[in-house]
A and B are shown apart, each in its own frame.
Chain A
Amino acid sequence: MAAAEQPADPAGTGWPARLHVVTGKGGTGKTSVAAALALGLAAGGRRTLLVEVEGRQGIAQLFGTDPLPYEERHLTDAPGGGEVRALAVDAEEALLEYLDMFYKLGAAGRALRKLGAIDFATTIAPGLRDVLLTGKVKEATTRTTGQRRAYDAVVLDAPPTGRIGRFLNVTAETARLAKVGPIKTQSEGVSALLRSPMTAVHVVTLLEEMPVQETVDAIAELTQLGFPVGRVIVNGTRPPVPAGRAVTAAELKRGLSAAGLPTDGRTVAGLVTEARDQQIRRELEDSLRGELVELGLPLIELPLLPDGVDRAGLETLARALVRAD
């Protein structure tokens, strides 16, 4: 795979890889970040593919579309004439497609499914399931039409941090089961792509203790397994407040009075409590940010979207991720 040897950033997006694997602890917004990245990388006339593999239909929910089929479909236009396409990979369908491609199964493939063979195969050997899922992602990433790559970038909404190492480490899982044969060959091809500069694994986190801890753990695991870690993406950050001491009740009372607001004891005490909690939260966030900085990886902070992640919000995130030059 000659193309795998060169990191690809012909468009100067600042994201030099062709396959972007986005992981993160559950609840950190990795699906939104993956979608925003696909949107950002498609801007200016490029074409990207956004892939999900866990059967959650998170992309469809995010974009308010019908459930995605196992088929690459137009998802949305990107600013400047680009296009984001989407695909929900299903292990069973991928296996049938794979069998069809290599063995021209046709009706026999359908018979296999009727027998429950597909369900059986992907149940008893979960490693096989992951090879099929990642195999499809690899196929889309390396596919060419004519002289051109089918996609300028593929963004994978990957399993969460707790499962990411095992998910990507397909060769280890299948080596246990298949010592020779096409599954072995397939998993080795996937492994080569995932460990090449063509791939970057990005970890999404929040400035909260558990997500940061899992980010640190996942990066250690990924690095040890030899996967290229890209960026740490801090989601939902708030603008920094000017460093200062906590406001006193007396000060606040004067301020409220100047603003023509009530200065009764309950209001003042309530606001002081809020300010104190805010201060505690900010200090914790600063210390967590420090832990992330220590990882020595490029860090991107995305703003908290007060109105939730709607289409406009996704474009805001896309612009924050991929700076248009």
Chain B
Amino acid sequence: MPSEDAAPPLDVDQILADPGVRIVVCCGAGGVGKTTTAAALALRAAERHGRRTVVLTIDPARRLAQSLGLIELDNTPRQVKGIDVEASGGELHAMMLDMKRTFDDVVLQHTDPAKAAEIFANPFYQAMSSTFAGTQEYMAMEKLGQLHARGEWDLIVVDTPPSRSALDFLDAPARLSRFLDGRMLRLLLAPARSGGRSMFSFVTASFGMFSKVVQKVIGAQLLTDLSGFVAALDSMFGGFRQRAEQTYRILQARETAFLLVAAPEPDAVREAAYFAGRLRSERMPLAGLVLNRVHEPAAPQLGAADSLAAAERLAAEGGHEGTVEVLRAHAALAQQAVREQRVAARFTEAFPTVPAVSVTAQPADVHDVDGLRTIGEAISRR
């Protein structure tokens, strides 16, 4: 298709086979087949390229998860059985992210058990660890950092959370740092650090007003919980920030390859272009674009207009009902293909040097290893 003529072809096999590549991050808008793409790439890395691979999924479709043997969300990589790795000697492991559990582990790692118990019991921790906007993104990065640090895998393939915007997941570490560094937090902490009884005991005139408003709006009990939470978190700040920064640096390193996943729809392509710009400005290694769900006629030599005109002619004459249907469907498909190329071209025009590959839409959804293998072949154009 023309949009691919403009962009250099993406050679996924080269990435998956490269021992220097240790992390592949799949990102893009929701509903474009990100999880399936990540799983298919991981399977291919294990089966074809003999790599000891782990795929970190965020929220896989039930049947896809089952096909990978992920029946429970236990936050530990499990080996996927029944795949074809005899010749290659590779391995495939898979895990689903348990956001709260990952957060709990981080807390446990950075503080003593008594303090951890105190943090776990705090209602603010409970709210933040399960619903904090960005927690899922941050914990996905945290888990990636953990898997990477264990050094057990040749290749880690990461599926990113279905964020409100692609930005969330890149921003999570920075946002957490900003949050922990924030003036507000320091203000709340000042009395706790100086051993004051009440967090607002040292009040200045303006802060007195502020505290009065806060008390009025959110209530005194809530303030007590908040101050407890903040004080408990204080002991872990250094560790938190250090890890966030570490993960960020790993993402910038040459061992990482970002793959944008999109579908030829305006929203998904806009998101992909946005993300490509972000990766560029963050100096993160963008390896290419995987354009999923592309419609391609199997008889491209027959144009949409000719096909439709012929269908109408036949229909007017009567008879050949089967052919009329086929020609109408073909015309619709050919028109859709042209539209999709136009949409996809918006990305390649903005990022002409980013390699791209188109993956033809599958007639049915994928939920077994065979299906993933077919997708892997399609992505690598074999």
Contact = CB atoms under 8 A, between A and B. Distances in A.
Contact of B322 (A120, A252, A261, A270): A252
A267 B364 contact: no
A173 interface: yes
Given A116-B182, A255-B314, A213 B62 contact: yes
B127 A173 contact: yes
Given A241-B325, A252-B326, A56 B310 contact: no
B310 A281 contact: no
Contacts of B306: 261
Interface in B266-280: 266-268, 270
Interface stretch (B80-88, B150-158, B211-219): B211-219
A181 B61 contact: no
Nearest to B35: A210
A303 B5 CA distance: 33
A117 B133 contact: no
Given A180-B221, A208-B365, A127 B326 contact: no
Contact of B302 (A25, A127, A247, A261): A261
B61 A160 contact: no
B326 A247 contact: yes
Contacts of A129: 133
B32 interface: yes
Given A182-B217, A254-B320, A270-B298, A25 B123 contact: no
Contact of B31 (A27, A61, A271): A27
A177 B126 CA distance: 10
A260 interface: yes
Contacts of A261: 302, 306-307, 310, 327
Contact of B213 (A56, A99, A179, A280): A99
A226 interface: no
B219 A178 contact: yes
A10 interface: no
A45 interface: no
A58 to B, nearest CB: 8
Contact of B219 (A125, A162, A181): A181
Interface in B304-321: 306-307, 310-311, 313-314, 317, 319-321
Given A258-B320, A275-B326, A281 B364 contact: yes
B30 A27 contact: yes
Contact of A266 (B124, B131, B214, B301): B301
A26 interface: yes
A222 interface: no
A210 B31 contact: yes
A150 interface: no
A71 interface: no
Given A177-B225, A271-B298, A27 B323 contact: no
A295 interface: no
Contact of B310 (A120, A178, A184, A259): A259
B185 A120 contact: yes
A184 B219 CA distance: 10
Interface in A303-322: 306-308
Interface residues of A, number: 77
A255 B324 contact: yes
Given A254-B320, A255-B322, A308-B339, A183 B217 contact: yes
Interface stretch (A14-22, A75-83, A104-112, A195-203): A104-112
A126 interface: yes
A325 interface: no
Nearest to A174: B127
A112 B127 CA distance: 23
B335 interface: yes
A6 interface: no
Given A27-B263, A123-B133, A274-B330, A259 B325 contact: no
A67 interface: no
B332 interface: yes
Contacts of B127: 124-127, 173, 176-177
A290 B326 CA distance: 25
Contacts of A102: 217
B153 to A, nearest CB: 28
B363 A280 contact: yes
A247 to B, nearest CB: 4
Contact of B217 (A124, A181, A259): A181
B73 interface: no
Interface string A146-165: 00000000000001101000
Contacts of A103: 213, 216-217
29 contacts: A26-B29, A27-B29, A103-B217, A108-B210, A111-B206, A112-B210, A125-B128, A126-B131, A160-B30, A173-B127, A177-B124, A179-B219, A181-B222, A183-B222, A210-B61, A247-B323, A252-B322, A255-B323, A258-B317, A258-B319, A261-B302, A266-B301, A270-B298, A270-B302, A271-B299, A271-B302, A277-B363, A284-B364, A306-B335
Given A213-B61, A280-B363, 18 more contacts: A26-B29, A27-B31, A27-B32, A105-B213, A117-B184, A120-B182, A123-B179, A124-B179, A162-B162, A210-B31, A213-B62, A242-B321, A247-B326, A258-B320, A261-B310, A267-B301, A270-B301, A280-B364
